[in-house]
């Protein structure tokens, strides 16, 4: 069933973020016995440099979304990002300017 516990188990099956940052958790391994089979992460694709000068605002918003904003996820039926996925996302924000 698609519930927070089963989706969280599927997300936990992602061990690391690849260099190209493309990450899929559909069809988790059999070892994740209660994992929901068709979950996905929600992505944000950002330009490294914003010619309009809004990079700082966007960086702040996405930074909030992947850190303290994660606390609101469960009430909205979103599973918080596992720490091994969240850390590379926060690190990638340092490239935005």
Please tell me the predicted confidence (pLDDT) of residue 51: 75
The answer to whether 62 and 47 are in contact (CB under 8 A) is: no
- Give me the long-range contacts of 66-75 (CB less than 8 A, separation at least 24): 66/90, 66/93, 74/4
Instruction: Please give the Cα distance from 68 to 86 (Å, whole number).
Output: 11
- In a structure prediction context, what are the per-residue pLDDT tens digits for the chain, which is 97 residues long? 999 999 999 999 999 999 988 999 999 999 999 999 999 998 888 888 877 777 788 889 999 999 999 999 999 999 999 999 999 999 999 888 7
Segments making up each domain of the chain, as ranges: 4-95
Q: What is the pTM of this model?
A: 0.81
At 16, list the tokens.
């690391």
């Amino acid at each position: 069933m698609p519930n927070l516990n089963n989706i969280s188990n599927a997300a936990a099956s992602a061990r690391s973020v690849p260099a190209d940052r493309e990450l899929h958790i559909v069809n988790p391994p059999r070892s994740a016995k209660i994992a929901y089979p068709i979950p996905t992460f929600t992505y944000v694709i950002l330009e490294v440099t914003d010619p309009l000068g809004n990079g700082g605002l966007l960086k702040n918003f996405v930074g909030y979304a992947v850190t303290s904003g994660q606390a609101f996820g469960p009430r909205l039926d979103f599973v918080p990002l596992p720490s091994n996925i969240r850390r590379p996302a926060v690190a990638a924000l340092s490239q935005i300017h």
